[in-house]
Amino acid sequence: MIGLWKRWKALEARGIMGINRRNADYVLKYNKRSLYPIVDDKIITKMRAIEAGINVPEMYGIISTEKEIEKLDEIIGGRTDFVIKPAQGAGGDGILVIADRFEGRYRTVSGKIVSHEEIEYQISSILTGLYSLGGHRDRALIEYRVTPDPIFKSISYEGVPDIRIIVLMGYPVMAMLRLPTRQSGGKANLHQGAIGVGVDLATGLTLRGTWLNNKISKHPDTTNAVDGVQLPDWDGFMKLAAGCYELCGLGYIGVDMVLDVDKGPLILELNARPGLNIQIANDCGLTHRAHAVEARLADLKKQGISETPEERVRFAQELFGHVQPAEI
Ligand SMILES: Nc1ncnc2c1ncn2[C@@H]1O[C@H](COP(=O)(O)OP(=O)(O)O)[C@@H](O)[C@H]1O
Ligand SMILES: [Mg+2]
């Protein structure tokens, strides 16, 4: 705990953003309340993305009532792998990633065998709101299971790594690769025990990482270096993230993406209150970068113009990219 406090103090000098500033100056200021459902409900996000021509994992079905649970078999069809998740869940809770069938049962991505009844029970818990924000009744979403691109094999343990980019008014400001570990049960959520690794915005090269609030450079399960890895199609990810501003209208978001071996980059979810640990993974604060974007916006406003996603990506890469660890 002391280590973390010290690191946080050191980062303060580098413009680290705390939770109060994030909420007051960014979330409240840039995220219109009425637009929250678009990002807080993964089914609505998915529909919006499809309309905008943005790729997402295919939806197999929705279960909204107890009665509809009996439709599960029909929704799954003959598939051997799929994912069940609460539409309004967060932090990886309540998500069941089924990787295979096994003698009339199912095998999760972390190797646990579950019965059909257990899956039904899980769906029922989702419906009652066990995993939803504020405990509201929820819906269960059944979707395509993402198979990560083999590039991640050496630096990831089971499950699917994801790429999070913080986007301010359509400008990417910071990125992080999140790697599942044995501890995180195949999920890429940091508080479940996943690793956060900083990413250079200009190049898509990984920097060092943070795990359970410790600074690390090797994956604890695979022992391979997590830094210096070139993420494929980096500009594609940056453009995808920048375009999510047009998709949802929220000005301060965390865009979570995955790289599927067959389908390429996909949007997994959008977050209206993205966490602040990304700063530890990047050894860099968000404040200065956010101010630079705000200055740019003020400038463009004076000239009466706005920028396209491509132009915004270029701006971010020129200004925030190629950061040397010693400088940040
Ligand atoms: N379709 C999927 N295929 C494989 N893994 C998934 C899928 N959806 C989610 N996951 C895993 O679960 C994690 C959390 O999923 P996400 O949709 O981001 O929900 P949450 O809001 O709970 O974070 C992801 O980072 C990923 O590791
Ligand atoms: Mg997530």
**Ligand nearest, relative to CA of residue 85:** 1
Q: Which CATH number fits domain 58-143: 3.30.1490, 3.30.70, 3.30.460, 3.10.20?
A: 3.30.1490
The reported pLDDT for the residue numbered 290 is 96
- pLDDT of 325 over the 60 cut: no
Kindly report, as residue ranges, where domains of CATH 3.30.1490 are found in the chain. 58-143
Cα–Cα distances (Å) from 252 to 96, 125, 166, 246, 257, in that order, read 29, 31, 7, 12, 16
User: What is the tens place of the pLDDT at every residue in 220-251?
Assistant: 888 888 999 999 999 999 999 999 999 999 99
Domain 2-42+149-320 has CATH 3.30.470.20: yes
User: What is the tens place of the pLDDT at every residue in 262-316?
Assistant: 999 999 999 999 999 999 999 899 999 999 999 999 999 999 999 999 999 999 9
- Alpha carbon nearest to ligand 1 atom 12, residue: 187
Q: Which atom of ligand 1 is nearest to the CA of 93?
A: 22
Percent of the chain whose pLDDT exceeds 70: 95
The reported pLDDT for the residue numbered 322 is 80
One-letter identity of residue 122: Q
User: What is the tens place of the pLDDT at every residue in 42-61?
Assistant: 999 999 999 988 999 999 99
Cα–Cα distances (Å) from 276 to 230, 244, 260, 273, in that order, read 24, 20, 26, 9
Beta-sheet pairing, 162-168 with 264-271: unpaired
Give the sheet arrangement for strand 171-179, strand by strand.
214-216, 206-211, 195-199, 171-179, 162-168, 252-260, 264-271
- Alpha carbon nearest to ligand 1 atom 16, residue: 92
Ligand 2 geometric centre to CA of 255 (Å)? 9
Backbone angle region of 300, left / alpha / beta, with phi > 0 → left and psi within -120 to 50 → alpha = alpha
pTM > 0.85: yes or no: yes
Backbone angle region of 193, left / alpha / beta, with phi > 0 → left and psi within -120 to 50 → alpha = left
**Ligand nearest, relative to CA of residue 109:** 1
Contacts of 23 by beta carbon, 8 Å cutoff, 6+ apart: 273
- Ligand 2 ion: residues within 5 Å (CB): 256
Ligand 1 geometric centre to CA of 45 (Å)? 14
The reported pLDDT for the residue numbered 144 is 98
Ligand 2 geometric centre to CA of 248 (Å)? 17
Longest dimension (CA), the chain: 66
Residue 309 in tokens: 């996603």
From 36, 79, 97, 270, give the residue whose CB has the most ligand 1 atoms within 8 Å, as the site to mutate.
97
Confidence category of residue 326, pLDDT binned at 50, 70, 90: very low
**Contact by Cβ (8 Å): 85, 56:** no
The reported pLDDT for the residue numbered 328 is 40
Ligand 1 pocket residues where CB is under 6 Å: 57, 83, 85, 89-92, 95, 97, 143-146, 159-160, 162, 180, 187-189, 256, 268-269
User: What is the tens place of the pLDDT at every residue in 158-174?
Assistant: 888 999 999 999 999 99
Residue 45 in tokens: 């996000």
Ligand 1 geometric centre to CA of 84 (Å)? 10
User: What is the tens place of the pLDDT at every residue in 175-202?
Assistant: 999 999 988 887 888 888 999 999 999 9
- pLDDT of 109 over the 50 cut: yes
Q: Count the Cβ atoms, other than its own, within 10 Å of residue 186.
A: 23
Ligand 1 geometric centre to CA of 77 (Å)? 21
Kindly report, as residue ranges, where domains of CATH 3.30.470.20 are found in the chain. 2-42+149-320
Mean pLDDT over the full length of the chain: 92
Q: Which atom of ligand 1 is nearest to the CA of 42?
A: 17
Ligand 1 geometric centre to CA of 5 (Å)? 30
